[in-house]
Amino acid sequence: MTTTEILEKYKKIAVVGFSDNRDRDSHRITFYMYRKGYKIYGVNPKLGGKNIDGIECYSTIAEIPDEVDIVNIFRVSIAVLPIVKDVLKLIYKPAVIWTQLGIFNAEAKKLAEENGFIYIENKCLYIEHKKLD
């Protein structure tokens, strides 16, 4: 499945590493997707319980009261494996685990793919979504 097919099919995204700082890519790209009609959940321990301009934030992915389709990771590469392990503990199974530009983790990729996830690595949601236009 291509990234454009993924973005056409799946509309609920958990953004792990979401920031309330408007200068950060995790903020700008998240709000771009939000404005394009995606249901977005922010995941950041510092923002849990807050609503940032319409985006509900949670301390962990397990706290999100909805099933998400895509887990988008805006964290350093070393943090990806623990996030994938957290996703594996969820009652439901998101379809896609997606890491942003510059984020690579071979062990996380292997674990995700072995467990049936679509794993997109080192790609920007914004750049891939612009291909739909």
How many domains is the chain built from? 1
Q: Where are the alpha helices (DSSP H) in the chain?
A: 3-9, 25-35, 80-88, 106-114, 125-130
d(CA 23, CA 28): 7
Residue 133: pLDDT above 90?
no
Q: Where are the alpha helices (DSSP H) in 10-75?
A: 25-35
Average pLDDT (13-39) is 97
**What is the tens place of the pLDDT at every residue in 98-121?**
999 999 999 999 999 999 999 999
**What is the tens place of the pLDDT at every residue in 62-78?**
999 999 999 999 999 99
Decide: helix, strand or coil at residue 130: helix
Domain harbouring 39, CATH code: 3.40.50.720
Q: For residue 26, what are the domain limits?
A: 3-130
71, 14 Cβ separation under 8 angstroms: yes
